[in-house]
Amino acid sequence: MTATFKAQNGFGYPDSLRCLRCGLCLAVCPTYRERGLEPASPRGRVALAQAFAEGRLKATAGLEEHLAACLDCLACTAMCPAGVRIDALVQESRGALAQRRGLPFLKRVALKQVLPHPWRRGVAAQAVRLYRRLGILAQTRTLGLKRWQPTWDIAHGLLASVPLDGARPRLEGTHPAQGEAKGRVGFFLGCLQGLAFPQVAQASVALLQRQGYEVVVPPGLTCCGKPLAAHGDLAGAREQARKNLRAFASAGVEAIVTDCATCGDFLQGYGRLLEGDEMAGEAREFSGQVQDISCLLSCSPGPARDGGKPLRVTYHDPCHLARGQGLREEPRRLLRSIPGLELVEMAESDGCCGGAGTYNLEHPELSLGILKRKMENIAATGAAVVASGCPGCLLQLRLGAQRHGLALRVAHPVELIEESLAASSSS
């Protein structure tokens, strides 16, 4: 038995041999719930990856599709009684396939030539603005491109209300602490957060300053590497990790803060990602410094809301915050501390929303089926606001509100906290 791909960081193929085939993972897998097919389950993907590693299964488009359909929501890994890192196995299998087949042209351009480069992201944002202004979506419908219509519909919904003006030019540099100084922290400005939700990134930096932190946003930051890793390009992800390590090398910070759940989870894994690399020591130290912003903040009392009734808010757990970083109570604690806010729990709050980066564009029908369940759970709470700590989730939930006709605000917790504190200071 000879594996055709090498396990990374002690996980992957050898780890998968502990799989008991018990099927507990099936109950928590969003794709299995939607499709009801064994290859769409974690257990099925383990079997496929093992057969591929042992040379019993060839690299085919079908194999690639089954592995690509995994959301990387970590639910199966968290559930597995044998402790199998199913997420790592799927990622390594994708990597082996990417080495053989290469990334498709559009993915290669988007993930390697555009996403890591701020000025190119800016050019892409200008193109999107032009797309919205010209109404290209309507033109594609007249062309009869039915195969791509679900993807176009989702893309249009996702981009309809995104500002795309970018927070990086305003945030790069050093921002002084306010009041009693607590320390000096770095802020990792994620690609999607900085471009699609600049108000969130600005609120995060402002909150850290309010709480007494000097905040450094170093130049030279690139993508955290998660998108490339998720699509199998681990070498590209490692190179992006090295660039970020160099960017923070001389920042002199005590912690590295992020307001993106997915970025935070991946940044905390740099030590594993670069194991055996010349920068392995720096990577381990860096990973130990990374914290989600919910771990550092405390919300000072603000004024009670006018109008009597409290603002009813529900919370969606991002997969890479709840399961990846183990943070569930911290964002809830912050939300509960906001005067005049009533936090109402939804059913299956940690169930995946179906966003998962570009998953909603690559698997539109499957993504929308998963999203439907999430939106039904949100609607049942009667909340006026749904909060979540991941920009990918925010985009997906906003899309869900549009498609399901819900009068629902979608916000990051830091937006609600900053609004409360700003009101307090102005009263």
Angle between the N-to-C axes of helices 391-403 and 364-381, in degrees from 0 to 180, rounded to the nearest 10? 80
Helix (H, G, I), strand (E, B) or coil at 119: helix
The span from the CA of 248 to the CA of 258, in Å, is: 13
CA-based max dimension of the chain: 71
The span from the CA of 199 to the CA of 389, in Å, is: 13
CATH class of residue range 13-101:
mainly alpha
Instruction: List the domain boundaries for the chain.
Output: 13-101, 105-159, 168-295, 311-426
CB 154 within 8 A of CB 140: no
Tell me which amino acid residue 210 is.
Answer: R
Q: What is the CATH number of domain 168-295?
A: 3.40.50
Residues in contact with 111: Cβ distance below 8 Å, sequence separation at least 6, in sequence order: 103, 227, 228, 231, 233, 236
Q: What is the pLDDT of residue 100?
A: 76
CA angle 398, 69, 35 (to 5 degrees): 90
Residues in contact with 6: Cβ distance below 8 Å, sequence separation at least 6, in sequence order: 12, 92
Instruction: For the beta carbon of residue 276, count every other beta carbon within 10 angstroms.
Output: 7
Asked whether this chain's domains 168-295 and 311-426 adopt the same fold, the reply is yes
Q: What is the CATH number of domain 311-426?
A: 3.40.50
**Nearest Cα to Cα of residue 162 among 194, 140, 139:** 194
The span from the CA of 354 to the CA of 74, in Å, is: 13
Instruction: Please give the structure tokens belonging to residue 367.
Output: 């993504």
- Per-residue pLDDT of the chain (427 residues), as tens digits, is 344 444 443 346 787 888 999 999 999 999 999 999 999 999 999 999 999 888 898 888 889 899 999 999 999 999 999 999 999 899 888 888 887 776 676 666 666 666 666 666 666 666 666 666 666 655 655 555 555 566 666 666 666 666 655 666 789 999 999 988 899 999 999 888 887 888 999 999 999 999 999 999 999 899 999 998 988 888 899 999 999 999 999 899 999 999 999 999 999 999 999 999 999 999 999 999 999 999 998 655 444 445 557 899 999 999 999 999 999 999 999 999 999 999 999 999 999 999 988 888 888 899 999 999 999 999 999 999 999 999 999 999 999 999 999 999 999 999 999 888 877 666 5
Cβ neighbourhood burial of 323 (10 Å; 0-12, 13-18, 19+): buried
Q: What is the pLDDT of residue 1?
A: 36
CA angle 22, 23, 29 (to 5 degrees): 150
Classify each residue of 64-85 as buried b or exposed e, where b means 16 or more C-beta atoms within 10 Å of its C-beta.
bebbbbbbbbbbbbbbbeeebb
Helix (H, G, I), strand (E, B) or coil at 347: coil
pTM (2 decimals)? 0.88
Residue linked to tokens 């990792």: 188
CB 180 within 8 A of CB 247: no
Q: What is the 3-state secondary structure (H, E, C) of 216-282?
A: EECCCCCCCCHHHHHCCCHHHHHHHHHHHHHHHHCCCCCEEEECCHHHHHHHCCHHHHCCCCCCHHH
**Nearest Cα to Cα of residue 175 among 253, 263, 292:** 253
